[in-house]
Chains A and B, each alone.
Chain A
């Protein structure tokens, strides 16, 4: 089913539309969700919630964006809420004696720890905001302007976060995986 027909089927709430939506975008959305939250289990929950919201609000979908862009925008909102709620959990009375968890560590449980690569371990050190721009740039392959529009940020903020994210990744990667060759990031202006 092509995208226009699928969008029409969703708006008309045709029974097979939901199945077709999952078939067409499920895995792709899941992979992005996994990179955003670091847990396969939580990623699947996020994707399920994304589809539920999308199907229920299909009447609001306007064809000036693609279906995937629309779905991914829903996913990003859910991902941000996911990270906010996980951060609140850290301040529960029962665990006030534990040292505060760094934002970058939240949500990255055994999925990334078990057999994870050096890159994944480096990803753990990024906050949700920095991981977001990294995933949008280097996985979703969006341009700076597109990332800024998607996240509601200025281009300057997006670039600043990207520079920081790459510098952090460089810090936590083993030397043999040096991302930047000899010049490193010393010339990069950060804000």
Chain B
């Protein structure tokens, strides 16, 4: 048993939770180490004073009159008492965030597959046209839709007013097909 080891076991020693062997080892160390004995005394003393102060302050606190009535009313109403504005806000986000994200990814994958499916099978190569390029024979019209989720919220007094929207942006274009 050295000082470092004793410091690690200090709380357990105070709690009487050490094995007989460990306790004997600590007692022997303390008998020969005034610094550790002083540390032990300090910790015990500090603990007692903090404990006393906490108990004294807490003793002044009591349930307000009407607490039981409010509790029973809340039970009967089936509502949770107390502040839940932000609890419900974050619960809402948790509830919709993942489905919204998965939905957006699924739509994007579907769009990509749709665009690829329009190309004729014997002429796989295509070149996207830029706005202003001429279209005509050999071009394939393409429409891409990108769905984005927009979640907005604001505080209105004690309430959170929130809204989840799906916005679709549609882009029309064309792909020029070429033969090698």
Contact = CB atoms under 8 A, between A and B. Distances in A.
Contacts of B62: 27, 30
A151 to B, nearest CB: 15
Contacts of A44: 63-64, 67
B124 interface: no
Nearest to B82: A45
A25 to B, nearest CB: 10
Interface in B77-94: 80-83, 86-87, 90
Contacts of A150: none
A181 B45 contact: yes
B162 interface: no
B75 A55 contact: yes
Interface in A100-127: 117, 119-120
Interface size class of A (residues with CB under 8 A): 35 or more
Interface in B86-115: 86-87, 90
Given A138-B51, A139-B58, A179 B72 contact: no
A187 B3 contact: yes
A164 B115 CA distance: 61
Contacts of B41: 181
Contact of B58 (A18, A35, A47): A35
Chain B contact surface mostly = helix
A153 interface: no
Interface size class of B (residues with CB under 8 A): 35 or more
A47 B63 contact: yes
B70 interface: yes
A189 B86 CA distance: 39
Contact of B63 (A30, A35, A49, A89): A30
B45 A189 contact: no
Given A31-B58, A44-B67, A188 B46 contact: no
A43 B12 contact: no
Contacts of A89: 86
A166 interface: yes
Interface string A127-149: 00000001101110101110000
A88 to B, nearest CB: 7
A35 B83 contact: no
Interface of A: 18-19, 22, 26-27, 30-32, 34-35, 40, 43-49, 51-52, 55, 81, 85, 88-89, 117, 119-120, 134-135, 137-139, 141, 143-145, 159, 162, 166, 169-170, 177, 179-185, 187-189
Interface of B: 3-4, 7-8, 11-12, 15, 17, 35-36, 38-39, 41-43, 45-47, 49-51, 53-55, 57-59, 61-64, 67-68, 70-72, 74-75, 80-83, 86-87, 90
Which 9 pairs from chain A and chain B are nearest by CB?
Answer: A45-B82, A31-B58, A179-B46, A119-B53, A138-B51, A180-B42, A48-B81, A143-B15, A139-B54
